[in-house]
Every structure is written in C-alpha cells, then in structure tokens.
Chain A
Amino acid sequence: MTDIAAPSSPRGAFVMRHPSVLIFLACLAIFTVGVTVLSEGFGIGVLSTSFIKTLGKTLCLCLVALAMDLVWGYCGILSLGHMAFFGLGGYAIGMWLMYARTEMIVVESLSNAPLPPTPEEISDGIASQIFGVVGASDFPPIWGFAHSLPLQLAAVVIVPGILALVFGWLAFRSRVTGVYLSILTQAMTLALSLYLFQNDSGLRGNNGLSGLQNLPGLDSVSQDAVSMWFLWGSALALGLGYVFCAWVVSGKFGSVIRAIRDDEARVRFLGYPVEAFKLLVFTLTAIIAAIAGALYYPQAGIINPAEIAPIASIYLAVWVAIGGRGRLYGAVVGAAFVSLLSTWFTGGQAPDIVIGSFRLQWVDWWTVLLGLSFVLVTLFAPKGLGGLVDLITERRSPDRHGADLGPDMGSLQEREAEK
C-alpha cells in the first residue's frame, strides 16, 4: 500500500497524498505517449499494429489484475472467477459489435433487392448470418438488447455485476471461506464455460463471437488507428481503475478489508458486517474485470468459451502472485511482465535451447517454466516482484514473533479466534 500517514488534507488532493499513485500515472502517461509516437497509426511506425494490440490487451490484463489484487491481495478472497467476469464483459460488448456489423452487412446486401427490406427480413438475415454456424436461425432472447450500444454497455457492467452479487451473496452468506471459496468460484467458472460451450446457449457455442476487431460503421478507418484508440482507452481505464482502487484501499474501507483478510472473525466482533464488505468488494472487482474484458476482446477480435475456462483465472492469480499481491502496482507489474513474457515465449520468438541432441522449444516448454517458477515464487518470494521494491525502500513487515498472521492465515476457514 499506499501511505495514509499524511495528516488530514482536502479530499480533492487525494492523488497528491499518495505519491505511488502519482508515479504510476506518470509512468502510464509516458508509456502511452511513447507508444503513440512509435505507432504506425499516429507515429513513426516502429511498432507494428499487432504489437500495439498486444500492448493494449496487456493494459486490460493489468486492469483485471488490479481487480484481482483488490479482491485477493487486500480482501483475502482467492477468487478463481474473475476471468469469467472478464469474459462476460467481452461477450456483452461482443454481442453488440457482432450484431451491429452483421446488421450493416445484411442491410447492404438487401439494399439491392427489388423491395426495401422490412425489419423482420433484416432481423432474420442477421440471425441466420450469426447463428448459421450452430444450426439456428432465430435470435435467442439474450440477444434482445444487442442492437443497442448503450444497453449492451450497460450489460457489460450489469450482467457480471449481478452474477457476482448473487454468487457472492450465496457463498458469503453460508460463510464459505478460504480454499472452499476458491474451489466454489472455480466451480462457478467451470459451470459458466461449460454452459457457453453448448450450441444452444445462444452465444454460438464453442465458435464464440468473432470479427470483433471491426468496429461497425468504421470500415474506412484502418486497424492501425483503431488499435491506437483502444490502447488509449485501455490506458485511460487502467489509470482510472488504479486511482479508484488506490482510493478504495487507502481509507478506513481499506483498513477494514485488510482486517477481514487477516482475521475475519475479529472484524465481525468489531461490529462490521463482514459478508456485506466481501460482497461489495467481490462485486466491485467483478465489474472492473468486466470492463477490462469489454476493452480487451475488441482488440483480440474473438472470444470463445475456452477463454472463460478456470485455467484463465488461475493464470490471473499467478500474475498477481508473481507481481506481488497486496500492493496495487505489484498486480500491474506482474500482469504486464508475465503476459508479455508469455507472448514472447509462445510466439516463437524466443531462441530454442539446444542441449546435446535435445532441442528445447520454448513454445512447448514455456508453460512448464511458468508453472515451476510460480512454485518457486510461492515458496521463496511470497511478495513477488514487488518484494524487490521493499529491498530498495527497506520497508519491513512487522516482526510477528513467529506468529502466523497475514494474508493466508486470515483467509483460513473459520478458526477459533482466541486460540
């Protein structure tokens, strides 16, 4: 965290009171300007458009990692469901993108017909275009709002928000905590992805939604420019998200959720409705994740249920852990570092290692390296990359005289607090 030692000062100067936020925003601004200058769309063209998209996507991953850090690093809920919310956000925006673009194509193709098309004909045309791959030609009810950008934008927030609210209410209410909660969220994620894998889920089964990189009505704008727009949008979202998260964790609310992480039962005896706090954090971070997803998938161009599979959420936890949980910049650094490294290794750019007659190809072995380094980080560097910052600033954690209290003990299943 953020320092809260400074004495009371006007509320508007929040950013000033938290230098780490200022540093982060400055870095983000420099990065964005730098990329813009180097881009093909608006600069000297050193960076390819596909790389710009990778960077833009990475910013979105940083944002969802922030959400994960808030819910896990600060509140102690190891959710394995946030990538599902991320994906839902992507689906929500993808539905509009796909509908609107298909609508244009259909209207275009029907404009040469002898009779002007009726709304029904257009709707049928869009439906058969979109659902032909799953052998259907009718719009499922969930596409009822797909024609409207504002409604689908609202759905980006509302659908994952409500899912998180209902699921969280059920889970927290029955006092499911710790690893049980993790497994339960994993089950939720699995159920969601299995559901979406069905052809009659109404979201094109395992085909997913595609062609999302084409913005409806902007065919004339090149992807070079569009990619930059999304990069700016993602950078803005990340900046706002960071400030928001820093604001949330800085005040008494931050104190309370960290206290919940460390000793939930004790917080309850202080009179705080722990379940309500957890639910608020869970839902809030689910919404942040969904917004990140809504920015990510137009850059990725395609979304399918495999993106929602539990393993994605596990990777999210890996990023945050490697970056250093319980500190916001740690999550951002972890997500950026690991996902970019991952892109580099799996993209085939990393040189193979030749050991005798054995040729080690990183495309195959990167995941093994990632898994094992994750084990090593967990064992030897629980603070992750953020721990390096502590070495420089010589920040020390309190001497607990060997007592086990901290992010992990706090989220144990109900313990007898007095023991």
Chain B
Amino acid sequence: MSELLEVNGVSVSFDGFKAINNLSFSIAEGELRAVIGPNGAGKTTFMDIVTGKTRPDEGTVLWGEKGISLLSMSESRIAQAGVGRKFQRPTVFEDQSVEDNLMMALKKDRNPFKVLSFRASRDDRDRVATLAGEIGLATSLHRKSGELSHGQKQWLEIGMLLAQEPRLLLVDEPAAGMTLAEREHTTDLLVEAAKTRAVVVVEHDMEFVRRLNCKVTVLHEGSVLAEGSLDHVTRNEKVIEVYLGR
C-alpha cells in the first residue's frame, strides 16, 4: 500500500511554544484514520501544516506517488492537489444557497477566467443534486445555507468536501454539537467517504471514534504518543496517563 501523505520530523513553534515537535505521520491511500489527543496536543496545527496554512520551522511534508513537497505550495494549490479540509465550526457561505455552495465546491477548473465563463451543465446539476441527496439536503437546494440547522451545515460542509473529490480528507471534530442521530449519519458519511479516499478524523469523542472502527493515532505535546487500534492505544500506559486515566 503506497503512502499518500508522509509527514517527517515536522516542528513548529509559536513564540517559543512548540506546538508541533518532531512529528512524523503517514497515511495510505484509501485509509480511514482517527487522531485523538488532549487539548493543545497539536491536532489543529497539524492540519494547518498539511493544508498550507502554517509553515513549519523544519521537516518535510510529502504528497502522492511522486512525493511532491506540500510546503512550497499555497493553500489553494494544496486543495487543488487533492487535500480537503473540514473545519471544527461549520463554515459554509451562509449568504448563498445550498446549490451555490455545492456548485462552488464541485471539482472544476479553479482558474478565474474559466470560472468567469463557467456555466453549469446538466451533468453538473445532476452531480449537485446527487450530493445533496447523500447529505440529506435534497429538498433544501434553493434555501440559503444560513437558514440551515447546525447539523445540516456540518453535512453541507462534508458534501462540499465530497464535491471537491479530494484524495485526502481532513475532518476536524465533525460530531461536535450533534444529536445522537446526526452523529450516526455523520459516521456513515465518513465511512462511506473512506471507501474511495483517505480520511483523517480529529475527534475527542471516544464513542464516535469507536464507531469509525479504524486505526488511531494519539498525539501529545506535538508528537505521536501511540498508534494502533483503539483498544490497543487505550491499553497503552502512557496514553492512559496523559489522556484517559485522569
């Protein structure tokens, strides 16, 4: 199984505080992975580095079969290369309809002139309608996304990520603030997504992680503390000490 993303010896510090300390991490094509860790473990910073928002002080981040470095690329280039990211708080464009949101995310040429001359074809509309169906928003296509509920916005955002057709999906606490039923739907969406691409889920909620039923990486103070199945890492002494066993 070839590695899709390889993070090697990455460190970054903010005003002397080491948010990420010599972190190494890799994920294979089509893999589902959960990342857990206490607050301040560097989960969000890790995502920032992969998506190009933060530049690390040292280390390498290699992408894809050819091992291209992501560090010299802008956020938008990284996104075009196939890294999708879902933020903790749902960030959809509330002033625009669900259809517009999805249409914008659809994998198409991002060049401004191409966008300017872009007119949606029947295929595009069908694709948007299908995605809306998957995320349960088929009837809300023409509603403004600002009118959606919190959970619906989360799904819309996941739908937008799927529309991007990324090869790697980074998901930050997707289940936060959801009802039980919504969580189950979210789990299904992610597991379904992981069939065709790699997915990294950052989550606090153990139950949610357990439902994902995948390999788990535990971060602590900016580096990997343990890796393995959920049962394996929950038995790890160090993990219990820093995270679970309080």
Contacts and interface: CB of A to CB of B under 8 A. Distances in A.
**Is there direct touching of A and B in the complex, by C-beta distance under 8 Å?**
yes
A11 B80 contact: no
B116 A269 contact: no
Interface string A249-291: 0011101101100110110111111101100100000000000
Contacts, number: 109
A400 interface: yes
Contacts of B84: 269
B95 A406 contact: yes
B72 interface: no
Given A268-B76, A400-B146, A259 B94 contact: no
A219 interface: no
A417 B48 CA distance: 11
A270 B91 contact: no
A253 B115 contact: yes
Interface in A1-47: 4-5, 8, 11
Nearest to A403: B94
A262 B119 contact: no
A410 to B, nearest CB: 9
A269 B51 contact: yes
B112 A251 contact: no
Given A266-B91, A400-B146, A272 B44 contact: no
A185 to B, nearest CB: 20
Interface string B94-121: 1110001001110000111101101111
A268 to B, nearest CB: 4
Given A252-B103, A253-B112, A259-B104, A271 B119 contact: no
A252 B120 contact: yes
Most buried by B among A259, A272, A399, A403: A272
A251 B118 CA distance: 7
Contacts of B85: 269
A252 B93 CA distance: 13
B232 interface: no
A258 B79 contact: no
Contact of B160 (A5, A268, A270): A270
Given A248-B116, A252-B118, A273 B76 contact: yes
A398 interface: yes
A283 B2 CA distance: 45
A269 B75 contact: yes
Contact of A270 (B79, B118, B147): B79
A5 B164 contact: no
B29 interface: no
A419 interface: yes
A170 interface: no
Most buried by A among B85, B89, B104, B147: B104
Contacts of A400: 94, 146
Interface string B123-152: 001000000000000000010111100000
Given A252-B115, A253-B116, A8 B125 contact: yes
B224 to A, nearest CB: 22
Q: Which 9 pairs, one residue from A and one from B, show the smallest C-beta to C-beta distance?
A: A398-B146, A271-B79, A418-B87, A398-B144, A268-B75, A271-B80, A418-B88, A253-B116, A259-B93
6 contacts: A8-B119, A253-B118, A273-B76, A276-B111, A418-B89, A419-B89
Interface of B: 44, 51, 53, 74-77, 79-80, 84-85, 87-89, 91, 93-96, 100, 103-105, 110-113, 115-116, 118-122, 125, 142, 144-147, 160, 164, 172
